[in-house]
Amino acid sequence: MKITGIVILLIFYSIYMGKLLLQKRKGIQTDQIAKGRQRDRVFYIEAIMKIATYSVVLAEVICIFTVRPLSTGFCIAGAVIGFIGDGIFACAVLTMKDSWRAGLAKEDDTKLVTSGIYKVSRNPAFLGFYCVYLGILLMFFNWVLLIFSVFAMVMLHLQILQEEKYLPDVFGGEYVNYKERVCRYIGRKNRRKNGY
């Protein structure tokens, strides 16, 4: 199971780093997390989120090598969820193309992406993070990893809330309509209920 856990993390972070490098070659600054000059609420949420997401990776790696895996059923479920997270994240990054950013990119000209996996999730990249965190947690559960994982997920959720305040200013009614049709994490909203 250790190898499976490492493979899940390697796939996920290879996608992340690969996308950063590809966009850097095109002159795109993908990592916008806590890069703003203004020290406002968004900056601090992003800074804490960055620390949380880096810390959870370290905790995951330590747990993979030091924690005895749970039962076979938990390990299989965790591996499946982790690989699903890798797939969701890959689909999200590929679908976003050069509009993908980590953090709020207030200065960049990006497009609102509503196709592909974004038809069923407004935040599939974050959903991918959550699945990987949950998968590794199920495979190598301990209380420290649980605390790190939950903290990282809470910070990612706060980041989503920041983005949801920012996106209507950038994309206007197009984003508002999209938000009314597609759920934050997964699923489409009932059209009849919303007057469609």
Give the pLDDT band of residue 42 (cuts 50, 70, 90).
confident
Cα distances (Å, whole numbers) of residue 16 to 102, 176, 183? 10, 28, 24
pLDDT in tens, 89-115: 999 999 988 776 665 555 656 788 889
Please give the share of the chain, as a percent, with pLDDT higher than 70.
86
> Residue 28 is which amino acid?
I
Residue 87 — left, alpha, or beta (φ > 0 → left; ψ -120 to 50 → alpha)? alpha
CA distance 181 to 196: 9
Q: Evaluate if residue 73 carries a pLDDT over 60.
A: yes
- Please provide residue 118's backbone torsions phi and psi, each rounded to the nearest 5 degrees: -75, -5
Position 162, amino acid:
Q
Domains and CATH numbers, the chain: 2-181 (1.20.120.1630)
